[in-house]
Chain A
């Protein structure tokens, strides 16, 4: 009791804090790795690409 138990309590709190910080740090590192290696996803779209012909490239008369 007394000073001894106070030191033990303080050590326990410090241990808890260091474990919490370690957990947060590891989580952040994992999140960073996943974010860097992640992909962008695929949006929906319709239609397709067609090659432009010589006719397409002729001057267009605006009406």
Chain B
């Protein structure tokens, strides 16, 4: 099968490595905006004869689309037109975008994708992405779902860091009792304990996890998304980034707390993952791309929780690929509401 990868940043590079390690991918076409440096990155991937670097343009993308089995969009900026073109050509799409605006555009492809019988996996990174899969797995053990609270620590590459910086100053929409409530940017401070990390102050952040989870689970009453940030991050979020972001990102984590009912009794499940965010995101994206190429994802556009049949099986696959999945056992924390 031929896979198309758009973007060779921190997440894209890790996705490429995972795709090349799969026997089902016979050719990988890698699109990059800049020729300089792309050749060196492609060479570092290995896979001689399997990887074909290309300079990204509308014409080159359209040409490569013919005969492709999946398109993985791992580049910052609005790549919606590539997703739209792919869906029209009957090629499934996996997007790692965590920009709420772009996510909404991708979700609008639901009708067209369902008609074409292809999947558009939206938000296939760490958060959203792994957070959605963990939510789906936790929900599968419950009779009734009530609340989902997602928190994340760390960022991937420079594009992720820039998006995180911008998201801290943008108003946030929370899902509460069947309606969206607008909240002030970076409000709602809550101390969150992440796996294998110290506690971190987390604040509301404009990310599409809540949107994707609320669409997937209609009975959901309350959903929030937070990210770890220092007071300095919040204070300077309205300024341009004062220093260049880390090229790789340090170790991060994602924590999902799901509350509901099981057997008539209240149940709380806290699950998470720990690792370098770019690596976690790249692994999730590649895994979804392989499944999309094999026709294992449900047709239509939606978050990962709505596209996979069995979240446990997907998480087991991620675990085999090196993603550390953990669950909290003990006294659950009560999130500030």
The main secondary structure of chain A at its interface with chain B is: loop
Tell me whether A1 is interfacial, beta carbon within 8 Å.
no
Give chain A's interface residues, CB within 8 Å of chain B. Answer: 35-38, 40-43, 45-52, 54, 56-60, 62-63
Does B199 sit at the interface, judged by CB under 8 A? yes
Chain B residue at minimal CB-CB distance from A48: B330
What 0/1 pattern do residues 227 to 261 of B give for CB contact below 8 A with A? 00001100100000000000000000000000000
Interchain CA distance A62-B267 in the complex, whole Å: 13
The number of A-B residue pairs with CB atoms under 8 Å apart is 76
Chain B nearest CB, measured from A37 CB (Å): 8
24 interchain pairs, CB-CB under 8 A: A35-B231, A36-B231, A37-B231, A40-B200, A40-B201, A41-B191, A42-B191, A43-B191, A43-B199, A45-B333, A48-B328, A48-B330, A49-B195, A49-B196, A50-B326, A50-B328, A50-B329, A51-B324, A51-B326, A57-B312, A57-B313, A57-B316, A58-B316, A59-B310
Q: Tell me the dominant secondary structure on chain B's binding face.
A: mixed
Known: A54-B316, A57-B319. A45 touches B330 (CB 8 A): yes
Residue of B nearest to A46 (CB): B331
Contact of A36 with B315 in the complex, beta carbons under 8 Å? no
Contact with A along B184-196 (1 / 0, CB 8 A): 0000010101011
Chain B: residues with Cβ within 8 Å of the partner, total of 36
Given the known inter-chain contacts A49-B326, A51-B326, A60-B141, please indicate yes or no for A43 contacting B333, CB distance below 8 A. Answer: yes
